[in-house]
Amino acid sequence: MKIVNRKAFHKYQILEKVEAGIALKGAEIKSIRAGRANISQSFARIKDDELFLVNAHIYPWMGSQKYSDERRERKLLLHRKQILNWQGKISGGNLTIVPLSIYIKRNLAKVELGLAKSKAKFDKRLALKKKTVEREIERELRGKKG
């Protein structure tokens, strides 16, 4: 199961991507496997040379009352060099780290993070216009084949 943050691709221009592990507790992995997570409002923050996923909503597993804090900060597992590299880039400009997707890879939960720059309003409009034109072209091509 792959949980994708579609808002991130609309709001931000993704400059770099990296895969990181997540430190989870209890039945959170079961919730992710079942697709019961939401990362549309979340972001990553660097604190004391460590990376944390903030505001990610992982719904509690049915019957599990033990871990009820659904929006707690979760530590992301990256090499220190990668964290320091991104920390330097973030401090240099108006960049942020956004989670693009959460997925399971070899029985481990992974997060795809993107170093992102915010799009201006006209950039968003341009991207939407381009997408609708491509969709219309696809529709025309499918109509001619059939």
**Which pLDDT value is given to residue 145?**
62
Q: What is the pTM of this model?
A: 0.78
Q: Report how far residue 72's alpha carbon sits from residue 116's, in angstroms, rounded to the nearest whole number.
A: 23
Contact 26, 7 (CB under 8 A): no
Domain boundaries along the sequence of the chain: 2-119
**CA dihedral in degrees (10, 42, 102, 26; nearest 10)?**
-170
Mean pLDDT of successive 10-residue stretches along the chain, which has 146 residues: 88 93 88 90 92 91 69 92 92 90 93 91 82 92 74
Amino acid at 25: K
Query: According to the model, what pLDDT value does residue 146 have?
Result: 52
Tell me, what's the pLDDT at 126?
Answer: 83
pLDDT for 134 equals 93
> Given this model, what pLDDT does residue 87 score?
93
CATH top class, domain 2-119? mainly beta
DSSP 75-91: EEE--HHHHHHHHHHHH
As given in the structure block, the two tokens for residue 63 are 């019957």
Give 46's strand partners.
51
